[in-house]
Amino acid sequence: MPKKRILTASQAINEATIMAMKKDNSVYVIGEGVNDPKEIFGTTKNLKKIFTSKRVIETPISENAMTGLCIGSAMMGLKPIQIHQRVDFAILALEQIINNCAKAFFVSNSKHTVPMVIRMIIGRGWGQGPMHSQILDSLFAQIPGLKVIMPTFPKDFKGMILSAIKDRNPVVILEHRWLHNIKGDVPKKYYLNNINKIKKINNGHDLTIVANGYNLLEVIELKKILKDEKISFDLFDLNILQPLETNAIINSVKKTGRILVIDSGFKNLGIGSEIISRISETCMEKLKSKPLRIGLPFVPTPSSRFLAKSYYLNKKRILISILQVLNKKKIKNNLSKKIKSNIPIDVPDLSFKGPF
Amino acid sequence: MPKKRILTASQAINEATIMAMKKDNSVYVIGEGVNDPKEIFGTTKNLKKIFTSKRVIETPISENAMTGLCIGSAMMGLKPIQIHQRVDFAILALEQIINNCAKAFFVSNSKHTVPMVIRMIIGRGWGQGPMHSQILDSLFAQIPGLKVIMPTFPKDFKGMILSAIKDRNPVVILEHRWLHNIKGDVPKKYYLNNINKIKKINNGHDLTIVANGYNLLEVIELKKILKDEKISFDLFDLNILQPLETNAIINSVKKTGRILVIDSGFKNLGIGSEIISRISETCMEKLKSKPLRIGLPFVPTPSSRFLAKSYYLNKKRILISILQVLNKKKIKNNLSKKIKSNIPIDVPDLSFKGPF
Amino acid sequence: MISKKNTKKIYFDLLKIRTIEEIISERYKEQEMRCPIHLSIGQEAIAVGICHNLNNYDQIVSNHRCHAHYLAKGGDEKKMINEFYGNSDGCSGGRGGSMHLFDQKKGILSSVPIVSSSIPVGVGAGFSFKYNKKKNIAVIFIGDAAIEEGVFYESLNYAKIFSLPVLFVCENNLFSCFTNINERQPKNLIKKISKSFGMKTHFLNGNNAIQIANKSKKIIEEIRLKNEPQFILLDTYRVLEHCGPYEDDHLNYRNKKEIKYWKENCPLKKLEKILVSNKILSKSSLRNYRLSYKKKYNLIFEDCKKSKFLGTKLNNIKLYA
Amino acid sequence: MISKKNTKKIYFDLLKIRTIEEIISERYKEQEMRCPIHLSIGQEAIAVGICHNLNNYDQIVSNHRCHAHYLAKGGDEKKMINEFYGNSDGCSGGRGGSMHLFDQKKGILSSVPIVSSSIPVGVGAGFSFKYNKKKNIAVIFIGDAAIEEGVFYESLNYAKIFSLPVLFVCENNLFSCFTNINERQPKNLIKKISKSFGMKTHFLNGNNAIQIANKSKKIIEEIRLKNEPQFILLDTYRVLEHCGPYEDDHLNYRNKKEIKYWKENCPLKKLEKILVSNKILSKSSLRNYRLSYKKKYNLIFEDCKKSKFLGTKLNNIKLYA
Ligand SMILES: Cc1ncc(C[n+]2csc(CCOP(=O)(O)OP(=O)(O)O)c2C)c(N)n1
Ligand SMILES: Cc1ncc(C[n+]2csc(CCOP(=O)(O)OP(=O)(O)O)c2C)c(N)n1
Ligand SMILES: [Mg+2]
Ligand SMILES: [Mg+2]
């Protein structure tokens, strides 16, 4: 058995980028700050040194034209990896993304492809407020022609980014900032992860849970606690938002009869709404309890940690929702204690010293 | 009883605009083409003559700054009515819409308001293709802080636009191009229609239907045919997409036990997904059959009428869906004949001579 | 200097475009070309003159008014006409309609109806040439209103600071739909703007195809050689309505004198004069060409109109490559 | 010319801003101001000089680096500091954090962290003044990178063709985060661009508050009078890191000589020299002011830090007005 190789997610992203660039000369990296000393949270480390500024391109603050430039070059056969330090900056490029990027394949009668990757980082850190920590997952998932992925584990970051780069379609990668420092086993070799079909990552009996991003980690942390209570669940890592393949979820629900979907973004018109609707439309009769979605309330992200507390989901709120789906009215006191955390709401761990 | 006063929807819009501008000097109209001979499909007729170019403002082709300008002026107390001849052009202004327009009230701790109306016309006519006939209903409904309305009847166009202008929040009005020539009774007086809560517009027993825009007219046309078959339905005019108030729908479903939601836009992540999810989450046990959504397939709008045929919904497809929700497998032959139309897919009526 | 042979070629290109557009204008009322159309009648010299100096690997991008660009760059006319009729063998399979013309083999990368949207895409094509050390250029055709969209400036900036082989060609027909340029832009902005970005900027008569071909030849060579973007601004005029097949002079949004002036300066007439006075073609042969082109292309339209839609059904269209 | 009294006022404004920012810088590591901060240390003269000539009804808009603009325009300092601490009596109730400062009563219309996003909003404020025939102006503070966003140009265009009372104030500190202006823009674009739009354009030393106040007085009066936008470009320098409380000179993205030059040209030192040499204030009184300001504002920080969050819970926040 090969030895484990522990990397952080940002190291995995960095490694994947280097591999792809070595393998294929047409891959280039472009974005505001890609050559900064901060190296986009470490993910662009050493790129310029290895590949020179010809292939690792710092740009003016002009997101829309930058995106169009990437699209044009991709239609001509290059493979841009565009990076937005905040997903929010991609809002300025929506015209190019919605029109040229997503529609070129369709409107060219399948002649043009736009093999382009857009990494967008979701800024959760010290209270960055309503214009620097949006999620926008279902906004992008609503644009036909884009693939939209949202990896959680370092291993997946590597494999999915490599797949995204290889894919002939535009792929949006939503990276939750707090996942960059998560550690995990990452194989050394070049490998591709599926970016067309989500996977079940845990097997159980009592309910089906669908989650992604940072929430997914919290669900996993609940696993042990729930096991002590003899509760087990099917868990889907919703790391592919588009194409949204829900057959496996539906099959799972047919078995468990209970479903909780946890949205990283707004609950309103979130991916969860689509999943619950599909379940209701296909196998409503198998449900033993009402389906449940949780997600962000329908207001902009507040900056203050005092407000962030009731804005973001946390283990406790997830646990309550699980029990609700299971028709167990109250959390047992000891459960509630077990999940108590001494980590403030606005940091992923105690080593985090802000601001981003 | 007052005599009926028949106007087209575009006349109703025009009348509402003139009334609002006469009533309140701070109301102004701005957009590309507002003073064109084409008068934005007749809706801006005479405005410049009455109110001069000070208040009816032709602009350069710069949607994003135009929107910001409107926002700034609205924060200062003016009341802009901004017009996009195509909803698609608003995509260039999404940064201003998502950030300053929708978030100013929140981020200013409720001190600033942005009392602004944005009329966006959905371009269905002769095959305008993927960048000139998007719907984008659920995109706008996904932005917290906006109100989003979509009137169907001339009477509502007038009353809802007047309410939108009076409202202290930014209101997006989605106007389906094919509704502009629809005629109906429009009271002469100044009146306000609710833009916070949708209304039931038909009472029945067998199922609940939720629809809006052009589809709503098609549902209404089916009413008589279905009546002959002793089928009656509760019908909701989903002319308010945000705030999305679904209690009345849920109560109706509790009664009928069956629900069909017809989306004007994509079925994927459409408003229907939110409605069906809410129903499933609250009163699943009352459903006698699986809920059903229909809407546009998840591909860009094709131009060719040969493709448009299978893209857009029509009476027949709506009828099939109704029967499906009622668990009636087949359309009876005579029903199918009754709804046969001799109008081509790409015109609203035979007087339409293109191109828009 | 353009040779006699090339002068003739330019004439045939121009005549072809004019003929096809006139037939569209005539046949549009048959209501079988069911998509918006933006005719280039009066403005064709620019497309023809510039594209004369391009090869198949050079790329162009265009906008809503793309017929002339498409044809001048060598786009397949039958595929274009089929696209107007919504047929499956249209250049975009009926998906796009008249505002989405492209031909991959001929270097027609993209035409899109969102004003200015294709500009950065063209810059991206230029980027790919430099990246791959190709000696090709990308030409970006825009109207005078395109410079009102922010992305235009962002794109100038990229083209300049990345030193890309890009030629901006701005066709100033004074109008954006019904609105005069004076209502939309500060005086002379359009003349000054590319210079502010440090680009070589040229002003040409947009209705003289030969002159355009001549002058742009040098410009294009220089771009190929130096990987530096340049900008050409050309004055011209649209003869028919903004969108649709008819004249709309009765609407009085344009000055009668102005219209008269520009009609007299018709690029086709101008070119014919040159051909005759330089004894390249005789008046009668010109007449014959006009007639034979008309006949030939009318047949093609007839063909396309009759052809059935045979394409993939929408349900089978793939969203992903 | 600025009077002695006003010179003193300018000094007190500058000192206040510098003091508050230095305290932020010191206290940031306490980890109680938990939001990104962009300090203006080294650049304050611009805010102070310009705002000196504005009244409460004039409006300003700002960006991520908004502390100095907010304070110079008269924004409530306690509300600002509370905002940094995330408190409910912060100027945006803790909802926005440091990049969303505003004060309605003082004409601070908006500050937003999306580069250039507030520019058209400022133009809209100018529009409202003209519409209502008010003799006020809107001032739009931007950094050098803001001119890379398309919306900047669109906004220049609107301000000009609508003849709006708008003053653009561009603080060129040579950097956008870590990237030098030479990597981002063609040479001198920033100097030429507003002229292309036909705007009166002025170049000033951004570190000389008195000069800025003097020169902008006339400019602002002219704008009030004529309803014509103007543009001021000022050179200046940010002393600390782009975002955060520390120096970052060890990262070597900026030239050592350049840093030295600008530190020597510190706007506060410059102003103190003027005060002393013109015998407006003595050296020792300057020292006393420095100390007393420090003390005073440290107390306010201490207060704010201790104050509890007493605001509406998120669940009760209204989405609509
Ligand atoms: C972003 C956007 N806004 C508005 C329109 C509507 N529109 C279509 S063509 C046009 C005029 C464009 O004028 P110009 O660029 O000068 O080209 P011309 O039509 O004169 O050839 C406008 C405003 C559009 N297509 N896209
Ligand atoms: C649209 C957008 N893109 C990128 C960023 C990230 N960003 C924040 S500040 C900044 C630099 C802005 O530089 P400048 O305008 O010169 O202001 P300065 O920081 O120098 O005061 C950047 C790129 C952003 N906030 N918004
Ligand atoms: Mg034009
Ligand atoms: Mg700067």
Residue B322, pLDDT above cutoff 80? yes
Q: Can you tell me the distance from the alpha carbon of A287 to that of A258, in angstroms, rounded to the nearest whole number? A: 6
Nearest-angstrom CA–CA distance, A103 and C100: 11
Mean per-residue pLDDT for D207-227? 98
| Residue in this structure with the two tokens 């097997």, named with its chain if needed | A203
Closest residue in C to D191 (Cα) is C196
Out of D87, D149, D178, closest to residue A61 by CB: D149
- Judge if the beta carbon of residue B312 lies within 6 A of ligand 1: no
Helix (H) or strand (E) holding B73: helix B63-75
Nearest CA among D191, D185, D223, D195 for reference residue D204: D191
H helix and E strand count, chain A: 14, 14
Structure tokens at A243: 């194409």
Categorize the per-residue pLDDT at A348 as very low, low, confident or very high, splitting at 50, 70 and 90.
confident
How is B207-263 classified by DSSP, letter by letter? EEEEE-HHHHHHHHHHHHHHHHTT--EEEEE--EEES---HHHHHHHHHH--EEEEE
Chain B residue with Cα closest to D132: B26
> Any idea which fold C4-307 has?
Rossmann fold (3.40.50)
**Over residues C188-197, mean pLDDT:** 98
Cis peptide before B355 (omega within 30 of 0): yes
Residue D2 confidence class, pLDDT cut points 50, 70, 90: confident
| pLDDT in the model for residue A10 | 97
Give kind and range of the element (H or E) at residue A120. Answer: strand A117-122
Q: How many CB atoms lie within 10 A of CB D124?
A: 37
pLDDT tens track for D40-68: 999 999 999 999 999 999 999 999 999 99
Regarding the beta carbon of C237 and ligand 1, being less than 6 Å apart is answered no
**Rounded to the nearest whole angstrom, what is the distance from the C-alpha of residue A300 to the centroid of ligand 2?**
21
CA-nearest residue, atom 12 of ligand 1: C176
Torsion of CA A314, A319, A322, A328, to 10 degrees: -150
3-state SS, residue A242: strand
| Chain C residues near residue D187 by CB distance under 8 angstroms | 198
Q: Which of A2, A352, A315, A7 is nearest to A156 (CA)?
A: A7
D74-101 pLDDT, tens digit each: 999 999 999 999 999 999 999 999 999 9
Residue C127, SS3 per DSSP = helix
- In angstroms, the CA D266 to CA D41 distance is 9
SS3 A19: helix
Q: Is the CB of C146 under 6 A from ligand 1?
A: yes
When CB atoms are compared, the residue of C86, C179, C251 closest to B127 is: C86
| pLDDT score of A326 more than 70 | yes
Mean per-residue pLDDT over chain A, rounded: 95
Phi/psi of residue C225, nearest 5 degrees: -75, -45
Q: Which residue has the tokens 């990987």?
A: C227
How many angstroms separate the alpha carbon of residue D15 from the centre of ligand 3?
53
Mean pLDDT of D213-225: 98
pLDDT at B4: 86
Å from CA of A185 to ligand 1 middle? 53
* C217 sits in which H/E element: helix C209-226
Is there an atom of ligand 1 within 6 Å of C22 CB?
no
Task: Report, as an integer, the average pLDDT of B111-122.
Answer: 97
Ligand nearest to the CA of C111: 1
Contact C119 A108 (CB under 8 A): no
pTM flag (> 0.95) = yes
DSSP secondary structure letters along D101-120: --BGGGTEEEE-SSTTTTHH
A176: phi then psi, degrees, rounded to nearest 5: -75, 120
Out of B32, B34, B59, B61, give the residue to mutate to test ligand 1, the one with the largest number of ligand atoms within 8 Å of its CB.
B61
| Residue of A300, A140, A123 whose CA lies nearest to A213 | A123
Mean pLDDT calculated for residue range B257-264 = 98
Report how far residue C46's alpha carbon sits from residue C267's, in angstroms, rounded to the nearest whole number.
9
Distance of CA D64 to CAs A177, B53, D145, D190, D207, Å? 20, 36, 12, 20, 20
Closest Cβ opposite residue C317 in set B65, B299, B303 = B299
Side-by-side strand order, sheet with B117-122 = B56-58, B27-31, B79-84, B117-122, B171-176, B147-149, B240-242
Closest partner residue to A91 (CB to CB) among B98, B273, B285 is B98
φ and ψ at residue D179, rounded to 5 degrees: -105, 125
Can you give the pLDDT at residue B90?
98
Average pLDDT (D135-150) is 98
Chains touching chain C, criterion 3+ CB pairs below 8 Å: A, B, D
For chain A, domains (ranges, CATH) are 6-185 (3.40.50.970), 199-336 (3.40.50.920)
**Tokens, residue A250:** 């539906």
CA angle, A334 then A339 then A344, to 5° = 140
Supply the pLDDT for residue D29: 94
CB spacing of D179 vs A300 below 8 angstroms: no
Residue with tokens 């591709």: A192
Q: How many residues appear in chain C?
A: 321
Q: Report the run of H or E that residue B264 belongs to, with start and end.
A: strand B259-266
Closest ligand 2 atom number to CA of residue D149: 1
Asked if D61 and D107 count as a contact pair (C-beta separation under 8 A), the reply is no
Tell me, what's the pLDDT at A2?
65
The pLDDT score that the predictor gives to residue D74 is 98
Judge: B280–A290 Cβ closer than 8 Å, yes or no: yes
Helix (H, G, I), strand (E, B) or coil at B56: strand
Which residues are bridge partners to A174 per DSSP?
A120
Cα–Cα distance for residue pair A120/A118, rounded to 1 Å: 6
Residue whose entry in the numeric block shows the structure tokens 């990757």: A117
**pLDDT band (50, 70, 90) for residue A345:** confident
Q: Please provide the DSSP assignment of A132-145 as one string.
A: TS---HHHHTTSTT
Give the number of B-C residue pairs with CB atoms closer than 8 Å. Answer: 131
Burial pattern B22-48, b for ≥16 Cβ within 10 A else e, equals eeeebbbbbbbbbbbebbbbebbbebb
- Span A274-288, pLDDT tens digits: 999 999 999 999 999
Nearest chain A alpha carbon to C130: A54
Cα-flanking dihedrals φ and ψ of residue A342, to 5°? -100, 15
Percent of chain C at pLDDT exceeding 70: 99
Residue in this structure with the two tokens 């027609």, named with its chain if needed: C108
D189/C192 Cβ within 8 A: no
CA atoms of A325 and A276, how far apart (whole Å) = 13
Cα–Cα distances in Å, from C96 out to A135, B124, C92, C142?
Answer: 32, 14, 6, 19
Nearest to A287 by CA among C65, B283, B144, B193: B283
